[in-house]
Amino acid sequence: MKCRTCGSKAVINMRQHKLALCKPHFLEWLPAQTERFIKKYEMFTRYEKVLVAVSGGKDSLSLWNILIKLGYQADGIYISLGIGEEGGYSDLSRQLCEDFSLDRNQQLHIVDVKKEFGETIPQFAQRTRRGKNKACSVCGLTKRHVMNQVAQKFGYDVLVTGHNLDDEAAVLFGNTLHWAGEFMLRQAPVLPATPGLTRKGKPLCRFYEKEMAAYAILSDIDYIYEECPYSIGSTSIYYKHQMNLLEHDNPGEKSHFYLRFLRAKDNGLFAPPEIIKQDLHECSNCGQPTSGKDVCSFCRMLEQGNEHLERSQVN
Amino acid sequence: MKCRTCGSKAVINMRQHKLALCKPHFLEWLPAQTERFIKKYEMFTRYEKVLVAVSGGKDSLSLWNILIKLGYQADGIYISLGIGEEGGYSDLSRQLCEDFSLDRNQQLHIVDVKKEFGETIPQFAQRTRRGKNKACSVCGLTKRHVMNQVAQKFGYDVLVTGHNLDDEAAVLFGNTLHWAGEFMLRQAPVLPATPGLTRKGKPLCRFYEKEMAAYAILSDIDYIYEECPYSIGSTSIYYKHQMNLLEHDNPGEKSHFYLRFLRAKDNGLFAPPEIIKQDLHECSNCGQPTSGKDVCSFCRMLEQGNEHLERSQVN
């Protein structure tokens, strides 16, 4: 297999793009494509302040790396979740993010969930009653809250995450199997800002996971290889597996499924957004926008956590 | 496992309904549920003339059987497609439908595609250029044309087919993976009549395939066991398989996927139908409604077939 650009030996063959590339041309191609998607979906410009949510994994650190290379004003935010034995998983991923930011002389915001809110994610998950994937649900809720809080506080124009195509297709697949309309309609490469909520973008949403893994390895990015211990048996992994079965039988299916959805949305398949638009107001506790009655889901979770804590201390 | 109604030995355990029943109670339950769906989706009444499309398979013959038992005015239509070695598959299924109608003293319309249009389905499929599943595509087109033609000619109020939940879920799954909006929005238990198009209903759309197989066997209905030889490797079988994998991991998933879709549609997830409504006009050849420029897809297929035929005779 030869590089389409220069004819030398290819290191990657992307069947879904019908494209094989050598190392230098792949490391050029992926950031150039990222730039194309940032512009296509009008995610942000070089005049805007970007906050990259980094976990220490291949996707988010690669994204940060790419944005810096492309000359964007990109700071990082790392949220320490207290996951793993004695928080070991989180400590390692934090270290990788700190080293990354120091090496590149970029600002990294660090929020320690336990210090800030009194408990780690596993502790929250234990105390609160949420569905099957308690830890993932609590973790998502917490990260969304903290990321927006920091983005708002420091005046970032946009908050970006390292979600790749496999992530996006799996989420869409799950939401579609359940016809979870509101979630489906909110799924997009970019979500515009609304009062109190910073704009969100996903510049990697059109890259396959294996492309991102190849990019991280070939760029010598030091990232955490292990998956989060709570992801084992999670529905997101299950839907990724289902999408991989479909992709195996029809190469490109994952990408088509996601892109055709975006196109169908643009072409008016769904109800106009104003029909399903929620009334948002400020949470009486933290001030972030919420569709809840009084406090937002995050603050409700904190309260629940504390109630349980108090109760268990009494008993 | 005991029958929920009478406590005697159950012959079927329907996990997705959390319901086990003995033979007599299952044979009561399934028609009663069919009646419920006919009413719920306002498919037809006992004052209306119903035309049941029968193929000789378990679903359509069971449906006809149920409608007769329930006291509906239900005639049959059998379309002879010329499938199998020397049309053997079609001959057998035709015989089963004729025997069924004679035993029950019900009218059966028979249309022989070769006699009517000059060629069998396999011959059409060979001559015309249609996608991957040529035979299935040509067959569906032909059956839709003929069924509507007969329903219109004899003044039936509604045309019903034996599509079960597995059929409906698989079609929806395929259309959703491709975000084929128009097809998705047309998928429903009942499609109202429009000028030139008879109303269509699917009274079995909420029964699992295995429930219908059990009903046919326990009712001693003589049906054709073999699948159509062209269905092997078809996309419909592929999507059924994918749905079965999901159902295996989450019993009830198939049913939820379909029913949640119907509910989402009712709740306004999709664009109002008038946005995607097509302009239909009469085919200049057969007079049936079409969205095509001049002739309908069926007549275009006939013409293509004939062109090819003429060409191959010249050579």
Mark yes or no for CB contact A271/B269 under 8 Å.
Answer: yes
Query: How far apart, in Å, are the Cα atoms of B131 and each of A314, B76, B137, B151, B160?
Result: 69, 31, 8, 29, 27
Using a CB–CB cutoff of 8 Å, tell me whether A15 touches chain B: no
CA B198 to chain A, closest CA, distance in angstroms equals: 26
Query: Would you call B248 an interface residue with chain A, using a CB distance cutoff of 8 Å?
Result: no
The answer to whether B183 faces chain A, any CB pair under 8 Å, is no
Contact A268 B269 (CB under 8 A): no
Chain A: give the shortest CA distance to residue B263, in Å.
Answer: 9
Test A271 with B275 for CB contact under 8 angstroms.
no
What is the CATH superfamily name and number for domain B41-267?
HUPs (3.40.50.620)
Give per-residue pLDDT as tens, B292-302: 889 999 998 88
Helix ranges restricted to H, B157-252: 165-177, 181-186, 209-218, 235-249
Residues of A in contact with B185 (CB under 8 A): 269
Query: Nearest CA to CA, how far is B136 from chain A (Å)?
Result: 20
A-chain residue closest to B175, CA distance: A257
Partners of residue A276 in chain B, C-beta under 8 Å: 268-269
Q: Write the burial class of residue A127 (CB in 10 Å: 0-12 exposed, 13-18 middle, 19+ buried).
A: buried
- How close does chain B come to A280, measured CA to CA in Å? 20
- Lookup: tokens for B135: 């035979």
B261 class by beta-carbon count within 10 Å (0-12 exposed, 13-18 middle, 19+ buried): buried
C-alpha separations of B228 from B88, B158, B170, B194 in Å: 11, 26, 17, 31
Per-residue confidence of chain A (315 residues) as pLDDT tens digits? 999 999 999 999 998 889 999 999 999 999 999 999 999 999 999 999 999 999 999 999 999 999 999 999 999 999 999 887 777 778 899 999 999 999 999 999 999 999 999 989 888 888 776 555 778 889 999 999 999 999 999 999 999 999 999 999 999 999 999 999 989 999 999 999 999 999 999 999 999 999 999 999 999 999 998 888 888 888 889 999 999 999 999 999 999 999 999 999 999 899 876 655 567 899 999 999 998 889 999 998 888 756 554 444 433
Q: Residue B268: how many CB atoms within 10 A of its CB? A: 14
Q: What is the pLDDT of residue B111?
A: 96
8 Å CB contact of A249 and B238:
yes
- Print burial letters for A7-17: b (CB count within 10 Å at least 16), e (below 16): eeebbbebebb
Low-confidence ranges of chain B (pLDDT < 70): 129-132, 273-278, 305-315
Buried b (16+ CB within 10 A) or exposed e, A142-154: bbbbbbbbbbbee
What separation, in Å, do the N-terminal and C-terminal C-alpha atoms of chain A show? Answer: 67
Q: What pLDDT was estimated at residue A204?
A: 98
Question: Encoding tokens for residue A263?
Answer: 């196109």
Q: Which residue of B has its CA nearest to A256?
A: B178
CATH of domain A35-272: 3.40.50.620
Nearest to B246 among A181, A185, A242 (CB): A242
Distance CA B278, CA B194 (A): 12
Question: Does A268 lie at the interface with B, CB-CB under 8 angstroms?
Answer: yes
CA distance A235 to chain B (A): 11
Give first-to-last CA distance, chain B, whole Å. Answer: 67
Distance CA(B315)–CA(B304), nearest Å, equals 17
CA distance to partner chain B, nearest, from residue A170 (Å)? 12
Contacts of A245 in chain B (CB under 8 A): 242, 245
- Contact of B253 with chain A, judged by CB distance below 8 Å, is answered with yes
Please give, rounded to a whole number of angstroms, the shortest distance from the CA of A314 to a CA of chain B: 39
3-state class (DSSP) for residue B228: coil
CB contact under 8 A, B269 and A181: yes
The answer to whether A300 and A285 have CB atoms below 8 angstroms apart is no
What CA–CA distance (Å, rounded) separates A25 from A12? 10
Nearest-CA residue of chain A relative to B182?
A: A269
Alpha-carbon distance of B73 to B51, in angstroms, equals 8
Q: How remote is the C-alpha of A292 from its chain's centroid?
A: 23
Q: Does A131 touch chain B (CB under 8 A)?
A: no
Tell me if B178 sits within 8 A of A260, measured CB to CB.
Answer: yes
Query: What is chain B's percent helix, strand, coil content, to nearest 5?
Result: 55, 15, 35
Token pair in block for residue A69 = 């290379």
Please write down the HEC assignment for all residues of chain A: CECCCCCCECCEEEHHHCEEECHHHHHHHHHHHHHHHHHHCCCCCCCCEEEEEECCCHHHHHHHHHHHHCCCEEEEEEEECCCCHHHHHHHHHHHHHHHHHHHHCCCEEEEEHHHHHCCCHHHHHHHCCCCCCHHHHHHHHHHHHHHHHHHHHCCCCEEECCCCHHHHHHHHHHHHHCCCHHHHHHCCCEECCECCECEEECCCCCCCHHHHHHHHHHCCCCCCCCCCHHHCCCHHHHHHHHHHHHHHHCCCHHHHHHHHHHHHHHCCCECCHHHHCCCCEECCCCCCEECCCCCCHHHHHHHHHHHHHHHHHHC
Q: Report yes or no: B1 at the A interface, CB cutoff 8 Å.
A: no
CA distance B148 to B286: 12
The model's pTM is 0.90
Q: Tell me the C-alpha distance between B280 and B195, whole Å.
A: 9
In A, minimum Cα distance to B256 occurs at A178
- Contact indicator for B58, B213 with CB cutoff of 8 Å: yes
In the numeric block, the tokens 């991989």 are attached to: A244
Question: Please, are residues B256 and B262 in contact by the beta-carbon 8 Å criterion?
Answer: no
| Total length of chain A | 315
- What are the structural domain ranges in chain B? 41-267, 278-315
Sequence-ordered list of residues with C-beta below 8 angstroms from that of B94, at least 6 positions apart, any chain: B56, B78, B80, B110
Note whether B277 contacts A: Cβ–Cβ < 8 A.
no
Nearest by CB: B176 against A176, A267, A276: A176
A233 touches chain B (CB under 8 A): no
For B256-299, the DSSP string reads HHHHHHHHHHHTT-BPPHHHHPPPPEE-TTT--EESSSSS-HHH
Q: Does B252 touch chain A (CB under 8 A)?
A: no
ipTM of model over 0.90: no
Q: Do A256 and B178 touch (CB under 8 A)?
A: yes
